[in-house]
Chain A
Amino acid sequence: MNNIQIAIIGAGPAGLSAALELKKLGYDDLVVFEREDEAGGTPRHCGHLGFGMFEFKRVLSGPNYAKKLAKLAIDSGINIKLKSTLTKIENGVLTFSTPDGVKQYTPTCTLLTLGARETPRPDRLVSGTRSPDIITTGTLQRFAYLQKIKPFDRAVIVGSEIVSFSAIMSAKHAGIKIEAIIEEKDEIDTFCIIKYLVKYLLKIPVLTNTKLKNINGKDKKVTSVTVSSNEGEKEIPCDGVIFTGQFIPESSIMQKSFDDFNLSNNSLYISQNFQAKNDSFFVAGNALRGALAAFKCYFEGKKVAKSIHDFIRFKHEPELIKIEVDENISWYYPSMIDLKSPTKQHLTALRLKKREKGAIKVLLNGRMVYKKNIHAFPFMSTNIPWKDIELKPKDVIKLEFVRD
């Protein structure tokens, strides 16, 4: 059993930036655990440019950004334990599988920066054949940028969140032809300009209002997909299918280990200082909700480091109120308010599942105390300010979206 002061699980942008900040604040008894064999997290396999502008004032590719972040951490003497997989959280003991055997730690404080993953085919309940050629963007990126492998020749992309653009670029890098992008909704799930870029510059058909009906194939090989729209059904020949987006936190270990799992966020209930009900646990970055850009995780890492610093210095008894939401909301943070927290952040950021017009209402003990009209896009956040709403212990807060 190893006693350490701070354990950080996950060496991605959030975890490493938190580690750097804590180190700066003078914390030396700190270990970052990473299950992969190198630090850096998801940017390691995002081969395209667009990283580091806000953090380092430079435009970097994902892999270079990951390298830079990892180097900063290593150079400042942060202890990163690679190939260490967290398998169990029980009574304050963290159990890891490592190539040197099973290891246990009892940190005073644990930060979970576990990242997120895309929803693969099974949880979407898609009809058709099974095949290793039905993958996600993350898989494709790892094929193209980490292993330098082209897994198939021509593919269909399912979903149109911003990440599907990354899927196109990864496919291009690997020499895979994209036959079409399929989106069930009537508009693509990201900024409109992307659609025109894809359609006219890359000459890839963007099929909105189109459902994936069946993945056809045999002997574990994909031969085509059947899609349906108002114009009827059609078959698109392809030998690969890439499901994109619908990110969810890599949170199974939270759901297994804690009794206050938040099903809307697929993460723990977390207060404005990134703290769970079990107050020695903190969660930040994509492990809080679906995927955000790396720089947002990076800055969140800095914030959570300050919260951990405050927690260690002025340990206080939290006074928590949970915030519940309805089914229109895809994620929200914070999901609890700690009335006694020194962090006086008075905003809850939320996103809707679909593009909608309507109003967000705050119900306090069943009574509406705040209303905000919004035109929401699934890729943009709306903030709910708490500063004008007086909250007392045992209040019940619910956020609702009402369509126009």
Chain B
Amino acid sequence: MEYINLNNLFPLRSSNFAKDEVFDVAVIGAGVVGTAIFKEFCEQGAKTVLVEKANDILDGASKGNSAILHTGFDAPPDTLEHECIQRGYEEYMKIKDDYNLPFLNTKALVVAWNDEQLGKLNAILKKGLGNGVKELDLLTHEQIIKREPNLSLDAKGAILVHGESLIDPWSAPLAYVKKGINCGGKTAFSHEVQDGSFNGKYWELKTSQKSINAKVVINAAGLYGDIVDKIKGTQDFKIIPRKGQFVIFDETAYNLINSIILPVPTKRTKGVVITKTAFGNILVGPTAEDQESRTDSQTVKETLEDLKNKAFHMLPSLKNHKVTATFAGLRPASDETFYRVSINNDKNWITAGGIRSTGLTSSLGLAKHIFELHDTRYEKNPKADEKVTVPNISEFAPRDNQKEGYGKIVCHCECVTEREIKNACHGELGAGNVGGLKRRTRAMMGRCQGFNCEAAVTQICKNEVENHE
């Protein structure tokens, strides 16, 4: 019988530009931050290349997060993070319809579960107002229960944050890259940047494939940000990977809550969140565990149990629902809490490092900020205002299975069609690995975890990859 494994199915990508081509800008890292920067620079008219060590976008920190578009009500005031979150939010609202990206304004409740936390609500409210987030309300116990009848009666009080919303964390960066490519930007996947040299005019980046030349380098290497930063000669920060484990509950639990349930934050982390997702299930997490490893995203049984119990305490009826998935993400936290964004004009090097959990919201704002830092004028790309769309995989808009001619539904739990899987295998932005396929389609991500479809998905992908080589 033929050995076929989903992990080995997708061919390694090469790049489609000449070796001696000198780009205006090379962005290292195709996470949510790198893809947003790539889009911005391409639109502004810079000849830009996106360099990524993995064979697909979102292979590092950006693949595992809670998928919330934040208002910045609790961001550290007057920081770059605060500014970028709010700018990023505004920017997302401007572009989401053009790109066919989902958005659901569920609002969030910051819930106080004891008197100590209750005492902190006023300060949070004040901070939020100070941060320019005006739509905040203090809720009493009765008001919480009216809004969230399934929540534990232990909820003492809460702040209702009107702007907090759900988005699709995977399709948005995909749209950013697609837009960049549409403006003529180039991509170099499976090009791990290993070293570089600057000749006073441009950088020659040595990668695991061919060398890449660019006048300016932007380091958005996420979990490897500090290592890549060494290439410029000095290292100004250290990445301390922070693991966050998550538990996803089945879609049967989707209607148990209306809003995102946030805890009163501590200094270190926003704490354990219970939220709906754009994919119609319930997410609980993350934990915050500092570690050395930049790759170890294993889950731990006891931690997952603890997460479940915390969630059951807040939302007792969640007990009646099955766990669909467990996973861990690694946030690129640094040795300081703030974003490590800097420019080195002598070296033509910009660093966008230490972008922690808020990166999903802030990335579009951060991209604009970095373009301003860069302070170079280009002739705006003529295609900058052209629309590009990505397929909708969220539950907030009609999906492929509601449009005829899709062949058949292959993944029954998530209702993923044969047409969606085939399309996800193709093109410059087709899936580069199994994770990429899942993030483009949701195939194999439901309650049966591939019991029904993994074999069929493997077969379809094999045929598609072979037929398009």
A contact set with B: CB distance below 8 Å: 35, 37, 83, 85, 87, 97-102, 117-118, 120-123, 125-133, 135-136, 138-139, 142-144, 146-153, 173-175, 214, 218-221, 248, 250, 252, 255-256, 261, 263
Contact = CB atoms under 8 A, between A and B. Distances in A.
Interface string B297-334: 11111001100100000000000111111110000000
A148 B455 CA distance: 9
A83 B404 CA distance: 12
Contact of B454 (A122, A139, A144, A214): A139
B1 interface: yes
A97 B418 CA distance: 13
Given A133-B5, A152-B5, A252-B250, A143 B405 contact: no
Interface size class, chain B: 35 or more
A99 B405 contact: yes
B403 interface: yes
Contact of A85 (B250, B324, B405, B409): B409
Nearest to B252: A255
The main secondary structure of chain A at its interface with chain B is mixed
A120 B250 CA distance: 13
Which of B6, B323, B455 has the largest number of chain A CB atoms within 10 A? B455
Given A133-B7, A149-B1, A220 B435 contact: yes
Contact of A121 (B408, B415, B449): B449
The 3 A-B residue pairs whose C-beta atoms are closest, nearest first, are A142-B455, A120-B449, A101-B404
A149 B457 CA distance: 12
A241 to B, nearest CB: 12
Nearest to B401: A97
Contact of A120 (B404, B434, B451, B459): B451
B323 A147 contact: no
B65 to A, nearest CB: 16
A220 B324 CA distance: 18
A261 B250 CA distance: 15
Nearest to A35: B412
Contact of B5 (A151, A218, A252): A151
A136 B91 CA distance: 43
A149 B459 contact: yes
Contacts of A173: 1
Contacts of A263: 320
Contacts of B406: 99
Contact of A139 (B295, B320, B433, B451): B451
Contacts of B450: 120, 132, 135-136, 139
Which of B321, B402, B447 has the largest number of chain A CB atoms within 10 A? B447
Contacts of A139: 450-451, 454-455
Nearest to A86: B412
Nearest to A132: B6
A252 B455 contact: no
Contacts of B327: 130
Given A83-B409, A120-B451, A139-B450, 20 more contacts: A97-B415, A98-B404, A99-B405, A117-B451, A121-B326, A122-B323, A123-B322, A129-B298, A130-B327, A135-B450, A135-B451, A142-B452, A142-B454, A148-B1, A149-B3, A151-B6, A153-B3, A219-B295, A220-B435, A261-B320
